[in-house]
Chain A
């Protein structure tokens, strides 16, 4: 039974999806394209592409003089990579224990960690600021790394525990018979759950890279600013300089877009594999 309207339906589906894709990308492209254009042209013809006559990098020059974006970028990179590494390391250790052994506190600890999936860490900000002061970690990248690690652990443990449970028991017992210790077995299991580690890394990365709240409150000095906070401050100061603002927006978006292009596979698989349930 062939549906005679099927081709029409397919065409309509493509039309709607294309229209929505255009809506999703329009603001981003508009900002990026105009950042390379002369100020007059930005206003007179916002939709034209830059050509030989209208192309300019003046916004990027203002940016280079007015803000240390290279340093902010490096800070963001250190914070993001440091947090991801710690999240994966400590969560995989904990998940191994929770998935492998039966012990009294197992269920309690799983629930204790699960609290952090639903309750946002921001609500403890007053306490975190006090703690950071006591530890003399204000305006350092360390406090951001530690807070983001704490924020990332609950979901990471939840996802990794599910994956580690699927590793066949025989494999581990065979290793034990060969005399492998428990730490050795952990290191044998880790490569087997690599896709899950990639997924967790991709899901945890986005909120860390994009966060404004904790950099604003815990590390707002110029030497510890992340790229999002650096961009936010710069945008506020140069609000009327369209070239500079558009350049700052484009440059600050670039790393996230590049990361997304590299990790979109893991990320989308993570979101669609029922990792968050």
Chain B
């Protein structure tokens, strides 16, 4: 089958539509944005090259650096919540489902439901449920004798970010659950059977067999969580607005980027500074992805059963 003629035209025709749309609407804007972050407007409103000056302003000018570090720090807290709550709970549910329970299909379909709903709707629903005006959270806490602990969870600086993180965890827990489940059911039954015959309990089987064999998935889930979290915007915007209040307590990179680009209150928006914030986000996300690719994935071999 000789298919090594000079570049055959039909290959180009097969590839052209996808490459064209992808390059024009994803790759080109990404570079255009990076280029814009190295420019600023002259007095006449034209672009002129300023090198890394925008990034320098972002990092050293108090007016910019304080919100930047605040958003970056909050974003890490947001991510840590997902790593410590969402992914372990997802793994736990997956282990239960992998035990071939009756009706497992129904459970996993229902538990996944929140993940298919719009973050806007989820954010607003929770905002209503947690609102002191409706009193649902007060009622539920009172029912278990903890009524005194009730707070306006989304209204206090100290509780806003953890509350929003947990709402996001609640919504997305189905995703790690599915990915872990997929990895767990590929483990051959003989492995688990042999361990049981040797008298190992569920706990021991989990730590000695299941967890080590799903380690590649742990890495994938972690990097997907990282990219998703540092790109998040909708939940905070929908439930707290672009100001991510109270007092920017829930501000993350996505909302900071939005405000910088479009402006808010008295501050006019700037495409140049907005592009610089996007540049910082790109750097953070790429760092995470590279750590995953070279620090984690390379150390693991793909397991073939």
Contacts and interface: CB of A to CB of B under 8 A. Distances in A.
B18 A93 contact: yes
A77 to B, nearest CB: 15
A126 B274 contact: yes
A71 to B, nearest CB: 17
7 contacts: A10-B101, A27-B125, A103-B8, A130-B271, A131-B32, A153-B18, A245-B128
Interface stretch (B23-31, B66-74, B79-87): B23-31
A276 B36 contact: no
Nearest to A228: B118
B238 A212 contact: yes
Nearest to B271: A126
Nearest to B280: A123
A109 B25 contact: no
B281 interface: yes
Interface string A61-97: 0000000000000000000000000100111011011
Interface residues of B, number: 92
A103 B11 contact: yes
Contacts of B170: 23-24
A121 interface: yes
A119 B293 CA distance: 14
B26 A151 contact: yes
Interface size class on chain A is 35 or more
Given A131-B25, A131-B32, A212-B119, A125 B278 contact: yes
Contact of B286 (A90, A119, A217, A260): A119
Contacts of A20: 93, 107, 111
B124 A101 contact: no
B77 interface: no
A149 interface: yes
Nearest to B32: A127
B126 interface: yes
Interface in A89-143: 89-91, 93-94, 96-98, 101-104, 109, 112-113, 115-116, 118-131
- Chain A binding surface SS class: helix
**In the A-B complex, the 7 residue pairs with the closest CB atoms:** A127-B29, A127-B32, A150-B25, A124-B29, A97-B14, A272-B182, A94-B18
B124 to A, nearest CB: 5
B193 to A, nearest CB: 11
Contacts of B185: 272
A252 interface: yes
A116 B126 CA distance: 32
B261 A109 contact: no
Nearest to A32: B125
Given A20-B93, A123-B33, A228-B120, A89 B22 contact: no
Contacts of A91: 18
B86 to A, nearest CB: 13
B182 A274 contact: yes
Nearest to A173: B1
Contact of B182 (A14, A28, A273): A273
A161 to B, nearest CB: 11
Interface stretch (B152-160, B204-212, B229-237): B229-237
B126 A27 contact: yes
Interface in B1-21: 1, 3-4, 7-8, 10-11, 14-15, 17-19, 21
Nearest to B93: A20
Contacts of A274: 182, 186
Interface of B: 1, 3-4, 7-8, 10-11, 14-15, 17-19, 21-22, 24-33, 36, 93, 96-97, 99, 101-103, 107-122, 124-126, 128-129, 134-136, 139, 170, 173-175, 178-179, 181-182, 185-186, 196-197, 202, 220, 223-224, 227, 231, 233-234, 237-238, 254, 257, 261-262, 271, 274-275, 278, 281-282, 285-286, 289
Contact of A24 (B97, B111, B278): B111
Contacts of A213: 233-234
A27 B137 CA distance: 11
A94 B14 contact: yes
A105 to B, nearest CB: 9
Interface string A264-277: 10011001111011
Kindly name the residue among A42, A103, A112, A206 whose own CB sees the greatest number of chain B CB atoms within 10 A.
A103
A149 B25 CA distance: 9
Interface centre among A116, A127, A149, A231 (most CB of B within 10 A): A127
A232 interface: yes
A86 B21 contact: yes
A237 interface: no
B125 A94 contact: no
A189 B9 CA distance: 20
Given A25-B110, A150-B24, A150-B25, A157 B124 contact: no
B113 A212 contact: no
Contacts of A126: 29, 32-33, 36, 261, 271, 274-275, 278
A210 B185 CA distance: 30
A24 B25 contact: no
A97 B17 CA distance: 12
Given A125-B274, A147-B25, A186-B14, 19 more contacts: A17-B107, A27-B122, A90-B18, A90-B21, A94-B15, A94-B18, A109-B15, A109-B19, A118-B223, A119-B30, A122-B233, A123-B281, A126-B274, A128-B29, A182-B10, A213-B234, A228-B121, A242-B134, A256-B116
